[in-house]
Structure 1
Amino acid sequence: MEKSLVFDYFKKISQIPRGSGNEKGISDYLVKLGEEKGYKVVQDKALNIVMDVPASKGKENNKRVILQGHMDMVCEKLQESDHDFLKDPIELIQDGDKLHANKTTLGADDGVGLASALALAEETSHGPMTIIVTVSEETDMHGAKELDPKHLEGDYLINIDSEDEGVLTVSSAGGKQYQGIFAPEYENFEGTILKIDFGGFEGGHSGVEIAKNKGNMIKVMADFVKLSKARLVDFNCGTKDNAIPREGFLKIELKEDIFEEIKKEIEEKYKEVEGKLEIKAEKEDYKGKIKNKKSTEDFADLLLALPTGVKSYTDESKKFLESSSNLAIVRRFTEDEEKYEIKDSIRFAKSSLLEDFEKTFTEISKGYPVEVNFINYYPEWEYKKESDFRELVNKTYKDQYGKEMSLEITHGGLECGVFYKKNPNLDIVSIGPTITGAHTPKETLYIESTKRVYKHLKAIVENLK
């Protein structure tokens, strides 16, 4: 792999399991590293890390810049992978200019941002610098939410968590989740059932890729159940709130000949979706509880009724998404396994849209045996009309590469919104190298792009006064 301090750090970070909720190891590593480098390090109760990096000689009176990223990663893998995200390092594979992992997510989101921040502290001539590394950005952003505002005292903040080189992100969506707890009615059953596996869709990031033709496997499976008119034993699809569901399974009382008929109909209906839908079934002997026909129908109807995909754009050009939702997870509820948890992630460019969303989801849920909650709110990051920092970032890019950056309002959720609420005086930008397939096992980091973005970041930090 490319020999540079950024990639050296990325390789080290990739050796440490760091899925959301499992950040203790990487957090402790950062404490030890920061102390070895002579930085003042704070590890708070949430396991966030704050490093106070002393200014270079002669730049002690410069304005303070905050470099920010998150330490957690989305843990997704192919069905045939035996990777254990709780203990196994990420296996990195270089293919020319591309870097990916072996049948798992790579963790460049946001491992490369973290690696870049650590390298910048060592390799640049800079003024007072703070490095903030948060936990659980990929789930509920509670790391950013629990961060003490005193650590955000500064003038500029660079969020290194964007995924398109040459794009200057200046605003991001807020979010919240619909959580439905569905309570089926059961009856006893003994006999043969089918376990049906669904796969083959590409999946993707539910913010930046929600407008693409990725499909939604929960909808496919609910469609299958609806057409079957059979009784359901189990339904499981989706693993991450912010990933478009791409595979799952259901268990159902269904004859093989009827399965084949419905399979053909479903495959034809969803043939235009990216990837290739695969539906496989095998027989199982089963004795236990099964959902009665009404509960099965209600369950499928609710899943088909819940919105997923783009709801609105900011203007007629459809350049910027304004609001969307992603039917992300359906699984047995951990607190009562006879019930099912349904999660649909809501994104919005302005808070006024959230009330309409909540009304829609509440209205759809009426008449079904489902308890409705709205959880895991995080604020949007509002666009700042005037920004000297933004001008500097754009100028340094143009000086190096001969063209201006394109401004973007991302539909992805960034922690910038949380930080902006804590310190509205911060001048914030978000940039990063090109990453494709984020939140899927096809996640790919482009090496030359990473080098160019890092060179740009160095120029920004060195030119701050």
Structure 2
Amino acid sequence: MKILDKFKEICAIPHCSFDALKLRDYLVDFAKSNGFSVEVDEFDNIYAIKGEPKICLQAHYDMVCVGDAPNIELIDDGKILRAKNSSLGADNGIGVAIMMEMITKFDNLELLFSANEEVGLIGANGFNKKIKSGRLLNLDSEHEDGVFIGCAAGELIEAKIPLKMVKYSQKLFELSIGNLPGGHSGLEIIKDIPNSLKIMAEFIAKNGAKLVNIEGGERSNSIPVNAKAVVMCDKISWIDKRVKVKELGIGNEILEFGDNILALINSFAQGVRSYDENLNIVRDSINLSTIKNEDGFIKVEFFARSMSETGLERIKFETKTLANLAGFEVSFFERSGAWTPNVGEFANVVLGFMQENNPKVKFQAVHAGLECGVFVAKQNGLEAASIGPNIYSPHSINEHLEIDSLEKIAKVVEKIVAYYQN
């Protein structure tokens, strides 16, 4: 399958968020070599156009790098494609590969390869050109049974407290957690995947230990896989087999606000906050994402999502109130708005082609951010829909792609683009 071959070529080019310039240049050269006019803006978005297009295809070309990524060793058994001990990058390299295939087949086409989606929709928020065709087909969805016409609002919440040490002397222990399942903090938040930071904080508190240091998590939009800490206590008596313990000797100082940090983490409710039974989707959720030692502070990051703006504001208020009670200063970053579902002419065309081979396909919304929501908000009258093949456990070392599903979606995309050639 040519698209799968193209995806494998993409996997050989490092393209982690904030470090995808090699893939950017590769895509620019590919589009130009097929007769497209290409522009790259200051945000590293790639805009390409040829002929008189009536449809624009869009995907982001950065990936969440977990495990050994960007060194991706592919495992292909003919049915499932995965990577050995790393994220696969099917999110959204598969969308990019489909677009590359369409580049070779059609003369009237508009394309947008957006940059740094996984770290706050940076490329989409910075893009300032008009989508000439007025129709946007996003290829960043991960379920073949849906035509997605709505997405959640999201925002990063940072709580920070000074990194100050005070004298204290007791036995010193090094703690570590690793190799938890991980997963996407929106799409998979309903699965109650274990959070390494919550496990670590509970372990420390139940052993009556004092914090010397704590760090963990990988990305703001991923459920944490790893965590490590150094603590002081008389002995480790409360056991959790997921936590590895190593005695280091005697220490001489602890974090002044260590108890505040543990209180915040242990009182924070991870996961789904409310569920919409009518849409059969999570309405509100929040993920404890990372803990970092940075710029003289301990910084705790949360990522909140809601299918409504009012829901997002409620979660932000609750989290800020809790963090303030624990003595933290709170800031907000990387806001993305909710995309309210709207069934128009274009969405119905997409649904019709999707249902030709799969009658189960229906309109859906997704509890995650989609760039088309940003583009629709920016451009009055722009119609958009999002589709994609079955991709499981994105943003984790368990990410894998269903190859038959890719073939189905690729054929649908080709039919849709062909429909808009006349």
Tell me by how many angstroms 1:247 deviates. 2.0
Equivalent residue, structure 2, for 1:134? 114
Distance of aligned partners of 1:42 and 1:318 in 2 relative to their CA distance in 1, 3 Å threshold = closer
1:332 to 279, 293, 303: 293
CA distance in 1 between partners of 2:42 and 2:129 (Å):
14
Give the secondary-structure state (helix, strand or coil) at the position aligned to 2:242: strand
Counterpart residue type for residue 102 of structure 2: L
Counterpart residue type for residue 378 of structure 1: S
Equivalent residue, structure 1, for 2:40? 43
Show CA shifts across 1:140-198 (max 9, x none).
11100110132x23221110001111211110011111101122542135664111111
Equivalent residue, structure 1, for 2:352? 395
Q: Does 1:291 align with 2:248?
A: no
Q: Does 1:241 align with 2:217?
A: no
1:65 to 55, 73, 78: 55
2:11 to 9, 14, 28: 14
Equivalent residue, structure 1, for 2:283? 322
CA distance in 2 between partners of 1:424 and 1:237 (Å):
42
Q: Over the residues paired in the alignment, what is the CA RMSD in angstroms?
A: 1.9
Show CA shifts across 1:305-350 (max 9, x none).
23321111234x57111111101111212x22xx211100011111
Equivalent residue, structure 1, for 2:98? 116
Give the secondary-structure state (helix, strand or coil) at the position aligned to 1:168: strand
CA distance in 1 between partners of 2:184 and 2:238 (Å):
29
CA distance in 1 between partners of 2:282 and 2:358 (Å):
29
Give the secondary-structure state (helix, strand or coil) at the position aligned to 2:325: coil
For the 8 Å contact 1:397–1:404, the answer to whether it is kept is no
Equivalent residue, structure 2, for 1:301? 263
CA distance in 1 between partners of 2:287 and 2:324 (Å):
20
The percent identity for this pair of structures is: 27
Q: How many residues align?
A: 421
Counterpart residue type for residue 180 of structure 2: F
Tell me by how many angstroms 1:139 deviates. 1.0
Q: List runs of 5+ in structure 2 lacking aligned partners.
A: none
CA distance in 2 between partners of 1:31 and 1:117 (Å):
12
Distance of aligned partners of 1:367 and 1:352 in 2 relative to their CA distance in 1, 3 Å threshold = closer
CA distance in 2 between partners of 1:213 and 1:143 (Å):
31
Counterpart residue type for residue 15 of structure 1: A
Give the secondary-structure state (helix, strand or coil) at the position aligned to 2:264: helix
Counterpart residue type for residue 262 of structure 1: W
Which deviates the most, 109-118 or 201-210?
A: 201-210
TM-score, structure 2 as length reference: 0.95
Give the secondary-structure state (helix, strand or coil) at the position aligned to 1:138: helix
Tell me by how many angstroms 1:398 deviates. 2.6
Equivalent residue, structure 2, for 1:366? 324
CA distance in 1 between partners of 2:390 and 2:205 (Å):
40
Equivalent residue, structure 1, for 2:79? 97
Equivalent residue, structure 2, for 1:262? 238
Equivalent residue, structure 2, for 1:348? 306
CA distance in 2 between partners of 1:402 and 1:184 (Å):
55
Counterpart residue type for residue 229 of structure 1: G
For the 8 Å contact 1:65–1:130, the answer to whether it is kept is yes
Equivalent residue, structure 2, for 1:199? 178
Give the secondary-structure state (helix, strand or coil) at the position aligned to 2:191: coil
Give the secondary-structure state (helix, strand or coil) at the position aligned to 2:367: strand
Tell me by how many angstroms 1:205 deviates. 0.6
For the 8 Å contact 1:231–1:253, the answer to whether it is kept is yes
Equivalent residue, structure 2, for 1:417? 373
CA distance in 2 between partners of 1:355 and 1:397 (Å):
35
Give the secondary-structure state (helix, strand or coil) at the position aligned to 2:407: helix
Equivalent residue, structure 2, for 1:165? 144
Tell me by how many angstroms 1:53 deviates. 2.5
CA distance in 1 between partners of 2:198 and 2:230 (Å):
16
CA distance in 2 between partners of 1:403 and 1:360 (Å):
42
CA distance in 1 between partners of 2:250 and 2:24 (Å):
45
Equivalent residue, structure 2, for 1:280? 244
For the 8 Å contact 1:53–1:121, the answer to whether it is kept is no
CA distance in 1 between partners of 2:250 and 2:8 (Å):
47
Give the secondary-structure state (helix, strand or coil) at the position aligned to 1:201: coil
Counterpart residue type for residue 145 of structure 2: G
Tell me by how many angstroms 1:122 deviates. 1.4
Equivalent residue, structure 1, for 2:272? 310
For the 8 Å contact 2:188–2:393, the answer to whether it is kept is no
Distance of aligned partners of 1:5 and 1:84 in 2 relative to their CA distance in 1, 3 Å threshold = closer
TM-score, structure 1 as length reference: 0.86
Counterpart residue type for residue 375 of structure 2: F
Q: List runs of 5+ in structure 1 lacking aligned partners.
A: 55-59, 78-82, 268-276
CA distance in 2 between partners of 1:25 and 1:440 (Å):
23
Equivalent residue, structure 1, for 2:401? 445
Counterpart residue type for residue 331 of structure 2: N
